[in-house]
Amino acid sequence: MPPADAPPRPRRPTTPTKAFLGRFMLAHLIAYPVGFLTAVAAMPLAMMSRREQLMDVGAIGAKNRFIADAARELALSPLEAAQVELVLEVSFMAALVTLGLVHLWSLPWSVAAARQVKRPEAGRGAVDRGYRLFTVLTVSTILVLLLGGIASWVWVLRG
């Protein structure tokens, strides 16, 4: 720890790469809870869309090794393991799409921040617009997932 009377160390200037990665990595961290929410919200939709397959899966067990191992740990029957796998496939794909979208939506904000570091005279307008776009799209996605997920879970659990 430096002595109390030592002058503060000068801060290194931000680079375009740091400006881009700072915003992109923040979006990356935000994408994980959104992806999880998507996976949970997609489960009832998977049950509805794959209803025939779920009812007629047979006792084949899970094909995916990770799911098969988890099914053994949880003492699931081969029928239950196959049903879990069918639902998780849809949930996983939906979560991947949402993860990709959140990353994609961060690009205008991240690129504008990198450009602003290169040319400060251009102003912060593009950075602010990119931030607003990212925020509106991400919050809208979360709201749609929450409302749609709650409605679909209520529908499935009611019978």
46-95 pLDDT, tens per residue? 888 888 877 777 666 677 787 788 888 888 888 788 888 888 899 999 99
Of 27, 39, 21, nearest in space to 135 by CA? 27
Of 85, 101, 83, nearest in space to 34 by CA? 101
Of 71, 91, 89, 70, nearest in space to 80 by CA? 71
Asked if residue 129 lies in contact with residue 112, where contact means CB atoms within 8 angstroms, the answer is: yes
Query: Global pTM?
Result: 0.80
- Cα(45)–Cα(153) distance, rounded to whole angstroms? 9
- Cα(140)–Cα(144) distance, rounded to whole angstroms? 6
pLDDT at 59: 62
Domain boundaries, the chain: 23-154
Give 43's contacts (C-beta < 8 A, 6+ positions apart). 87, 90, 91, 153
